[in-house]
Amino acid sequence: MHLQSNVDLTLANTLRLPCNAEHYAAPSTLSALRAVLAHAHAQGWPVTLLGGGSNVLLPEQLPGLVLRPALNQWWLNHGQVAQQGDVFAHVGAGVNWHRFVMATAARRLWGVENLALIPGSCGAAPVQNIGAYGVELADTLQAVQVMELGTGHCYWLSAQACAFSYRDSIFKGELADSVVITQLVMRLSRVPAPQLHYGDLAARLSATPTPLEVADAVCAIRREKLPDPEVLANAGSFFKNPLVSNEQAAQLLRYYPAMPHFPQGEGQTKLAAGWLIDQCGLKGMQQGAFGVHQHQALVLVHFGGGDRRGLMKTADFIVAQVEERFGVKLEPEPRVVNP
């Protein structure tokens, strides 16, 4: 089972928060995954799931077993066609998300090109229903295979059963801490379908771009706006864009007519968390080992030497400042892992 003990996970999370795992395993097959889960169950160990480490806030100590699936195979099923032009990709949970996006874009397959350069593993993508530049994972995901932590039993969930919503899914709710995602099925297409309405994406491209050209443009924009976690530790967007009632949005717009806002239907409007933070004068601030990135107010960065307590102190300060000025309460986007 290749179990390891007393494993330092500081470099296994992009915020570089100090963390030590009592036991650690990275199984590369379903049988190995099932075996290590059975062993953990027999030992009475709690099990903590860890993907690419890009969207988690780790504590200093994690008892029991930290499980990081290394199911690193993916393939295209050209025979599984729902309509003309469809191509289905079967993707192991351990596959790097960005590499998968670029590989499918290079094959001129449409569907996930707007999600290029999002860090993390494919298995973690459904948990958060990752999204960027007007596209969400839920737009192309068809099914998810999971394994029950307690029994090792595998079964499939349809996209509808995953209960996807903005940065949310069944894996954060009903199935939290009870299953591990092992495989995704993504429905891609050979039929051109560029989604270029977000930001300045269209301005960077021709009228008929390829999926790879779109992915490259997205990468360029992200690199201009977001710090590289290999250079400056961060977890990408730290706060969700808040949803408020249309009435509250209209009231805010009377005072802040330039405020970015995006009607969502059902009486709700999405606001830009980064803009709210920036208006509070917090861009570029530093509080101990943590701060707000100087070019992107939505990103909290770790300068080194800090821990999760220090990070949450900085985050709570930002939340309080935004709520005091706008009456809007921000929520952290990363998953908080507790021992």
Q: What is the pLDDT of residue 79?
A: 65
Q: At residue 82, does pLDDT exceed 70?
A: no
Same domain, 124 and 176: yes
Angle of helix 97-106 relative to helix 211-225, nearest 10 degrees, comes to 140
Of 67, 92, 114, at which residue does a domain stop? 67
Nearest-CA neighbor of 256 among 269, 265, 266, 267?
Answer: 269
Element (H, E) at 278: helix 273-279
Mean pLDDT, all residues of the chain: 94
Q: Answer yes or no: do 58 and 117 share one domain.
A: no
Among the residue ranges 135-139, 199-203, 315-319, the one predicted with the least confidence is: 199-203
CATH at 43: 3.30.43.10
Rounded to an integer, the average pLDDT of 74-97 is 87
CB 134 within 8 A of CB 198: yes
Same domain, 243 and 117: no
- Tell me the average pLDDT across 197-217: 92
How many domains does the chain divide into? Answer: 3
One domain for residues 95 and 150: yes
Mean pLDDT over 257-271 rounds to: 94
- Residue 167 is a catalytic residue: yes
Place of tokens 């208006």: 279
Q: Which residue is catalytic, options 167, 187, 308, 335?
A: 167
pLDDT greater than 90 at residue 326:
yes
Catalytic (active site) residue 237: yes
Are 94 and 205 contained in the same domain?
yes
pLDDT for the residue numbered 81? 59
Mean pLDDT of 32-54: 95
Under the banding of pLDDT at 50, 70 and 90, the label for residue 199 is confident
- What is the CATH classification number for the domain harbouring 299? 3.90.78.10
User: Domain of 101?
Assistant: 74-224
Same domain for 115 and 36, yes or no, is no
Is 247 found in the same domain as 215?
no
Q: How confident is the model at residue 200 (pLDDT cuts 50, 70, 90)?
A: confident
Q: What is the pLDDT of residues 234-261, one digit of tens each?
A: 998 999 999 999 999 999 999 999 999 9
Last residue of a domain, one of 67, 85, 114: 67
CATH number at residue 109: 3.30.465.10
Contact 297, 315 (CB under 8 A): no
Q: What is the pLDDT of residue 55?
A: 87
Task: Kindly state the percentage of the chain with pLDDT values over 70.
Answer: 99
Strand order in the sheet with 154-158: 74-77, 86-92, 179-189, 141-148, 154-158
pLDDT digits (tens, 9 = 90+) for 140-184: 999 999 999 999 999 999 999 999 998 899 999 999 999 999 999
Same domain, 173 and 296: no
Same domain, 233 and 220: no
Are residue 80 and residue 217 in the same domain, yes or no? Answer: yes
On the question of pLDDT at 11 being above 70, the answer is yes
Q: Do residues 201 and 83 both lie within one domain?
A: yes
Distance, in Å, from the CA atom of 21 to the CA atom of 311, rounded to the nearest integer, reads: 20
Confidence class for position 80, pLDDT limits 50, 70, 90: low
Residue 78 clears pLDDT 80, i.e. is over it: no
Q: Which of 68, 237, 308, 335 is catalytic?
A: 237
Pair (216, 233) in one structural domain: no
pLDDT score, position 299: 96
Buried b vs exposed e over 181-198: b needs ≥16 C-beta within 10 Å? Answer: bbbbbbbbbeeeebbbee
Q: Which of 25, 40, 67 is the C-terminal boundary of a domain?
A: 67
Predicted confidence band at 77 (pLDDT cuts at 50, 70, 90)? Answer: confident
Q: Are 274 and 240 in contact (CB under 8 A)?
A: no
Neighbouring-strand partners of residue 89: 76, 186
